[in-house]
Amino acid sequence: MHCPFCQNEDTRVVDSRELPESVRRRRECGGCGQRFTTYERAEPSLYVIKKDRRREEFDSRKLFEGLRKACVKRPISTEHLEKIVKDIQSELLKLGKVEVSSEIIGKLAMNQLRALDEVAYVRFASVYREFKDIDSLLEEIEGYREWKRKSEALKHQLTLMNLE
């Protein structure tokens, strides 16, 4: 393990704790004496079938970066994006398949963003759906508006039901 401060390879584990989904290790650098934390977790192999039929290993960092780019200058924390990535990864693993299409991952990400932030949703959709013209983009925005209207109406109905 390389020290994140001085890049020295001489680090030792000072403390280990098992967490529900990982192992937390406190490490100390033999070079500079700084302490840092690492997390170790098992990642089951999951492959993504891309649009051009290529297969590549699922990389949660790529998904995070795509979401982060869609959320630039939006009031969305890094922690929230990390939770979305974790939720999507959990959903994919629940499918019980070794390979999933990139389309499924994109739909899951869009569903998460649609409920979170409309600008981030449209940004992500513009890349994921590869809009060819402004009309395609306008259709997506109108679809979002319709979803939002239905969500608001449903929320209002649930509020009324809880009052009785």
Q: Quote the radius of gyration of the chain (alpha carbons, Å).
A: 21
- Residue among 11, 18, 58 at smallest CA distance from 40: 18
pLDDT at position 158 is: 65
Average pLDDT of every residue of the chain? 90
Give residue 68's pLDDT band: very low, low, confident or very high (50, 70, 90): very high
Could you tell me what percent of the chain has a pLDDT over 70? 95
pLDDT, mean of residues 106-114: 94
pLDDT tens profile 38-54? 999 876 689 999 999 99
pLDDT, mean of residues 97-120: 94
Q: Is the pLDDT of residue 113 over 90?
A: yes
Give residue 21's pLDDT band: very low, low, confident or very high (50, 70, 90): confident
Query: SS3 of 29, please?
Result: strand
Query: How far from chain centre, in Å, is Cα 109?
Result: 7
The answer to whether residues 13 and 1 touch, using CB atoms and an 8 Å cutoff, is: no
Residue 124, CA distances (Å) to 65, 102, 104, 143 in order? 11, 14, 14, 14
Give residue 163's pLDDT band: very low, low, confident or very high (50, 70, 90): low
Distance CA 58, CA 16 (A): 28
Residues forming a β-bridge with 53: none
